[in-house]
Structure 1
Amino acid sequence: MSNTNQQVTVGCAIAAFLEQCGVKAAFGVISIHNMPILDAFGERGKIRFIPARGEAGGANMADAYARTTGGLGVCLTSTGTAAGNAAGAMVEALTAGTPLLHLTGQIETPYLDQSLAYIHEAPDQLSMLKAISKAAFRIRSVETAISTIKLAVQTALTPPMGPVSVEIPIDIQAALIPMPSNLQPLALPQSVPSARALDELAERLMKAKRPLLWLGGGARHAGAQVKRLMDLGFGVVTSTQGRGIVAEDDPRSLGAFNLHKPVENFYQSCDAMLVVGSRLRGNETLKYELKLPRPLYRVDADPAAEGRCYTSDYFVCGDSALVLSGLADRLAALKVDPGFMADLQKARDTAVHGLVDGLGPYSALVEQLQQAAGREFNWVRDVTVSNSTWGNRYLRIFDPRAGVHALGGGIGQGLAMGIGAAIGAAVTQSGKKTFTLAGDGGFILNLGELATAVQEQADMVIVLMNDKGYGVIKNIQDAQYGGRRHYVDLHTPDYAELSSALKLRHQRVGNLAEVAGALDEALSQKGPFLLEIDMLTIGSFKTAFAGPPVNQTENVESAESAEKAAAAAAAVVAAAATAATA
């Protein structure tokens, strides 16, 4: 049914539908091929549009917005090469399982797919979109426009979630129609586990004395149910995507120290592992050679997860919150080993000490960031060396929506996503400060988005680790290519001058004792701040990171050595505090 008294463009009807989906912000680049939708955004005034400086940055923003809110991210691009510009960021969102709606334009329907070399057309654009999306649709008529958008949103939000692309020819966007009277989103199907499967899994778990949960991103909405199992005696370890489901200062959790040798050794003392909403990806399981506890049980809303990467001793298909709630109801009489948690804490402490020692001087940076951030913050990371070593596990987070990191990896969009993702996290109106940790190599790939951050006054602190090159590639060349370094040294701008030109607050730090004061300045007012860490002056990490880990004996120094490193970091923090109060 429709309201026949009001004629609107299809673009306006789409905007009205997105409002009903709870969308408060959208991102992208304005174009002749998406103007009917963006005109409606502007005129209706209910969805804030953040104009990115590039389509990839806009998609990164929508991705991070969705991850930090738990809702739908929306990105708009033009057709052809503009849609192609978003491809890398879409692959990142696809890898992360982000519910994102990518609306892209298309040329007028009379000329579409006619091989006319029509300006702005990319041959077989829909196939490209299908390759980088969970699903992709073309709106083929005015009459099916809203139904197609409804299906796209439902598809994006249905587990396993992911980005969905919709191409909309410009003549359809601009066509006049009666405003539809039913703009309610479609209901989301829920994956309900069978009672019989829950009974069987609970019976198996009742035999365990040292049970461990491995939590992935598919369990981010199941924090209350996870806590029930922890209160029954389960320990916890998380993937990087599962961080914050359990506050990372909880002594019953290993956090994301999931593949360190002391933790792998601890796994051998566990007599059951329940993997919940995790793909057990190769980069977090030593390319599937990490020795996980047996029996290994899996819970996932995606039935295809059964047996993938690791053989499942038992599998339950269902929403993680429903499965864990059902298990908690059935496991009230569980009896665990009284020494289990002490052993877990020892394994975590040993892993943390080993990592801290390997950071050398930069352990002081982590401590000062932790103090400045508190507990209510967003933590956004690209794939810089600092994130691969400590950003993805050591700086503690306390909320399952607080962390945004590059799951796609690589020198493509995972390296470039830092600025855009931070903007997306910062404009959610959550009241949280956003911190992003980026390396200079990836930072310059999306440098234009700094202007977006300033224009939108995004409340974010960028911690830029500047060593004027591709640090991890240098380390790989040292480790695997006889120290022959080629193509890794970069000409980088003077960030003080660049920041001045952009009216971006900036401070360069060449002594880690200055970090606390710089962070105080960063947090003293709203808006973006660039904190540049001069790594060439400060020096290198004690232990070089040379790419993803392999399964080999980890050189973990004694607790005494690690404690000395922690004490040295504490001394730097104390010196910084003294300087700040002087």
Structure 2
Amino acid sequence: MPKMTGGKAVVEALKQAGVEIVFGLPGVQIMGIFDAFFGEPDVKLITVRHEQTAVYMADGYARVKGKPGVALVVPGPGVQNASAALGTAYACSSPVLLIAGQVESYHLGQDRGALHEINDQLDIVRPVTKWCQRVMRVRDIPQAIQEAMRQMNTGRPRPTEIEIPWDVVGKEEEVSFPRKEEFSRKSPPLEDIKKAARLLLEAKKPFIWGGGGVILANASRELKELAEILKAPVATTPEGKGAFPESHALSLGGGYYGFGSVRYLSSAADVILAIGTRLTGQMRPGTAPKENQKLIHIDADANLFNKNFPAEVAIAADAKEALRILIEELGQGKFVSKSSWTEEEMQAAKNKHRQWLKRKAPLQTEIIETIRNKVPQETILISGVTNIGYWCNLAYPVELPRTYFTSSYFATLGYAFPTGLGAKVAAPDKPVIAVVGDGGFMYAMPDLATAVKYGINLITLVFNDQAFGSTKCDQQINFQGRIIGTDLQNPDFTEVAKLFGAKGIKTSPEKLGRVLEEALSADRPVVIEIPVPTMIAPFQISPLED
């Protein structure tokens, strides 16, 4: 067995797990790991300016690639800085491995005031990870990293964390590396599949919700095949956008906070098939399942069933496997759909939604249509926690999986720009656009330096209303217009971009199309600032209004 330091064991174990890029920020407890990257040709280290950016970039990379992203930070404040990004990855079921330093093993639990000490650091990450572990011996590092990979590649993918004390990173021991593991998909119980098939066989108005779990399982082809067999309309959650092509005749596009084409049809459904979605509180009146509707719920995480809506049939399985076997089961009886949905009623629902968008959000719809018309189909868009980002969930059509990302129920202000950087690293040959507001962009703006240094040519659209817009609207709607603490003083974002070495352009919504064309051909990161008024968000409109 070879003898090596803990730092070297980390890098070798990552390499054997197929990791190609690590995002990190140096600090004394992890310099032994940084040193192990020196001269290593197979794993690239990208240094960032804030620990949240390291994890956000790992998240963006993971979502595009469909495999774990890795971040490396110091203990204490480093882990705390990273925690919001880790929570975002947790909410989005994104496979992110955080490798954190720790104080020396002989300081653990002693509260002596060791550098960066937190007692107990694992308590910080436990609520936002699927699995976490402290590694106390060099020889145990490869097995810990393999277990982290297993956790992220089986069941519901979520973040994992490993922490290694400072002295263990520098210590030398003999180390053996386990074989790279092949991970299998979780198959559904056949009896549950048969129950679901019987319900669908008799359904006159079958309806499908496609969530992010469809994309995570790479099950878009199976979803399309099943929808066509059932002749069932398909709506997607924001996280599921791209799971089903929105140009398809059966697509109702995205549903969000009770809105979307789906709200004009879903109440007529008799059987609802929900795949890879927890059916959160975003299912407001208009789109939420009703008591008289039978719900078939497929998800990799059995803990989600019956939390928000009761299921007639709950199937704990990988979405791809469940859909494949369900299709086979339906095919055995030479299934002929009893669906009574008509093209006319589906088209009418889409027309009503378009009219509603034009009425409720004319400027937002115009901006989003401009973006969609100017960028190629394979463009990756990061929908930020900002007004245009919210409306993208309802107005930006998506055709391909892994090309549209949100922060899910975590709604993390500031996530979009750094997540976009990670997405661009994963897909350097595709356009990647981060849709951000002025408030959110300021969170990670210093990492424009990272973008320029590493040639990460992300396009960032900064919609600037000089405010924390949705909370300002909240004050206008719910607090009688008493505005306090929500107006902002911003720099000139285009000039800031230029100071970092990026391209900065200020434009109006009317000229955005031409400027986007220019940005798409640029050979460096681009920041486009678009002044806009403060505008209402979809979740601030009652679905019962009209």
Match of 1:386 among 374, 381, 388: 388
RMSD of Structure 2 on Structure 1 (CA): 2.1
Question: Counterpart in 2 of 1:562?
Answer: none
Question: Counterpart in 2 of 1:210?
Answer: 205
Say whether the 8 Å CA contact 1:94–1:133 is kept in structure 2.
Answer: yes
Match of 1:527 among 524, 527, 539: 524
Q: Residues 275 and 408 of structure 1: is their aligned pair in 2 closer, same or farther, counting only changes over 3 Å?
A: closer
**Paired residues, number:** 539
Say whether the 8 Å CA contact 2:467–2:534 is kept in structure 1.
Answer: no
Question: Counterpart in 2 of 1:545?
Answer: 537
Match of 1:86 among 82, 97, 100: 82
Q: Residues 368 and 42 of structure 1: is their aligned pair in 2 closer, same or farther, counting only changes over 3 Å?
A: farther
**After superposition, where does 1:65-464 map in structure 2 within 5 Å?**
65-178=61-174, 180=176, 182-220=177-215, 221-232=218-229, 233-257=231-255, 259-260=258-259, 263-285=262-284, 291=290, 294-332=293-331, 333-337=335-339, 339-388=341-390, 390-410=391-411, 414-429=412-427, 431-464=429-462
Aligned residue identity for 1:426: K
TM superposition score normalised by structure 2 = 0.94
Name stretches of at least 5 consecutive residues in structure 1 with no aligned partner: 556-582
Deviation, 1:339, is 4.0
Deviations 1:241-260 (A, max 9, x none): 11101112222111213522
Deviations 1:137-167 (A, max 9, x none): 1002223222122112211222221111111
Deviation, 1:320, is 1.1
Aligned residue identity for 1:229: L
Match of 1:483 among 481, 488, 505: 481
Q: Residues 439 and 18 of structure 1: is their aligned pair in 2 closer, same or farther, counting only changes over 3 Å?
A: same
Aligned residue identity for 2:403: A
Deviations 1:200-256 (A, max 9, x none): 211121001221111111111111211211221122111111110111222211121
Query: Aligned partners of 2:440 and 2:525: how far apart in 1?
Result: 18
Query: Aligned partners of 2:286 and 2:181: how far apart in 1?
Result: 39
Out of 337-346 and 10-19, give the one that drifted further.
Answer: 337-346
Q: Residues 429 and 382 of structure 1: is their aligned pair in 2 closer, same or farther, counting only changes over 3 Å?
A: closer
Query: Aligned partners of 2:512 and 2:226: how far apart in 1?
Result: 40
Query: Aligned partners of 2:424 and 2:313: how far apart in 1?
Result: 41
Deviation, 1:292, is 8.0
Query: Aligned partners of 2:162 and 2:240: how far apart in 1?
Result: 29
Deviation, 1:85, is 0.8
Query: Aligned partners of 1:260 and 1:83: how far apart in 2?
Result: 38
Query: Aligned partners of 1:183 and 1:159: how far apart in 2?
Result: 21
TM superposition score normalised by structure 1 = 0.88
Query: Aligned partners of 2:317 and 2:140: how far apart in 1?
Result: 32
Deviations 1:72-114 (A, max 9, x none): 0101100111111111111111111111100000122122222
Instruction: State the identity %.
Output: 26
Secondary structure at 2:4's aligned position in 1? strand
Q: Residues 534 and 127 of structure 1: is their aligned pair in 2 closer, same or farther, counting only changes over 3 Å?
A: same
Deviations 1:328-385 (A, max 9, x none): 1122313233543432232122113211332223433222211221101111122111
Q: Residues 251 and 42 of structure 1: is their aligned pair in 2 closer, same or farther, counting only changes over 3 Å?
A: farther
Say whether the 8 Å CA contact 1:382–1:439 is kept in structure 2.
Answer: yes
Question: Counterpart in 1 of 2:51?
Answer: 55
Deviation, 1:500, is 2.1
Aligned residue identity for 1:401: R
Say whether the 8 Å CA contact 1:461–1:530 is kept in structure 2.
Answer: yes
Secondary structure at 2:224's aligned position in 1? helix
Query: Aligned partners of 2:283 and 2:161: how far apart in 1?
Result: 29
